[in-house]
Amino acid sequence: MAKERSSLHIGFVSTRFAGTDGVTLESAKWAKIFENFGHRCYWYAGVAEKPADCSMTVPEAFFNEPRNRELNEVLFGSQQRERAVTDEIYRRKEYIKDTLYQFIGDFSIDMIVAENCLSIPMHIPLGVALTELIAETKIPTIGHHHDLWWERPRFLLSSIRDIIQASFPPDLPSIRHVVINSTVQTDLASKRGLSSSVVYNVIDFDSQQPALDDFNRDFRESLGFDPSDLLILQPTRVISRKGIEHSLYLVKKLQIPSARLIISHTMDDEGSDYGDWILETAKQQNVPLHLIYNRLHETRKYSDDGEKLYTLWDVYPHANLVTYPSLYEGFGNAFLEAVYYRKPILLNRYSVYITDIEPKGFDVITIDGFLTERAVEQTREILLDPERRAQMTTRNFEIAKKYFSYRVLRRRLSSLLYSFYGEL
């Protein structure tokens, strides 16, 4: 497909563009930069909270669609698949490929940004369909890879190794591969022989920091917290790799009666076993734990019952400390968010933090897989010393502004466009 205009029509493709997951959030940031360049962005997904005039929603492309879940249960955990399963994959692939061609035609798409759907095999038919479309059309494509399949244990044993090798990600001349950390860049080269660029996740550090206003000022009162409560926020989902137990133990060991642990996201993405264990552990340790996902939304609104639904951005100004004890992260959006809001952070030194973030010189409280008394004392010191806290958070903000801001993303995306089109 030849480009015939300087203003591109860029099509973002994924299984979901909705909610507050990293793929959805970073896609929106990329789109904002592209639109600032003068291009137009369009969206294809199984679930897409986008205007109808610039999006195409195909329910069968959603990773959590019941039939896709059933298919994944058969494909993973075994090394052999039946012929009927292969036929089913390609039957669904053909339908999805038809809808992708329709998307390209309806919106005159010049370039595709494949958001994680050619990276992690959560929707096999979509990945195969998109791979074939790119091969058939040679359409310029950026593969934006947030998670690669070998990073997740549940994808290591499968009956579709042949398909995964061909499409996750594919090796095609019109694809530029982009990863979000240097470790994956090395892995992609060594495991697949594919070169890639590193484009870190970013936040608009040049924008005015949201603060307390007429809508969010009553957050504490609305959720039953006292003005004097010490709110410790873990802005993650309730899944095992987020290490929530470390935050529980921190609150317990701080021995501050007013301390409250707040978890912002849901506990149903990977089953309820871990969430149930966290709830039971909090009860046994007598730690005040508050799951507030039912009071949060992507945008500010009122529920049908008239309750305020806040955004995560409304919670940060009320937090006294952010905990981020993840065992593994592709990058770490919550880390950047806490820095943006100038909040002190307790963090588990996950591998990507060690290789790509820590060398920049951030000042945070760290642990290495377990909570130490030293970390507890450091946390207590930071919470009780406003001057030290301000010094820490200001330093972190300035470092992040230098390395992880929109101005950096603009340069990276401009280079990617140049690699396809030269000067537009």
Report how many helices (DSSP H) and strands (DSSP E) the chain contains, helices first.
15, 17
Give ∠ CA 150-155-157 in degrees, rounded to 5: 105
CA distance 323 to 318: 14
What stretch of H or E contains 359? none
Q: Which CATH class is domain 219-403?
A: alpha beta
CA distance 125 to 137: 18
Give the three-state DSSP class for 112.
strand
- CATH fold of the domain at 9-202+406-421: Rossmann fold (3.40.50)
Contact, 269 vs 236, CB < 8 A? no
Cα-flanking dihedrals φ and ψ of residue 57, to 5°?
-105, 125
Give the three-state DSSP class for 278.
helix
Give the per-residue pLDDT at 1: 46
- Enumerate the CATH 3.40.50.2000 domain ranges in the chain, comma separated: 9-202+406-421, 219-403
Which residues does the chain have with pLDDT short of 70?
1-5, 268-271
Q: Say if residue 178 is exposed, middle or buried (CB neighbours under 10 Å; 0-12, 13-18, 19+).
A: buried
Give the per-residue pLDDT at 270: 63
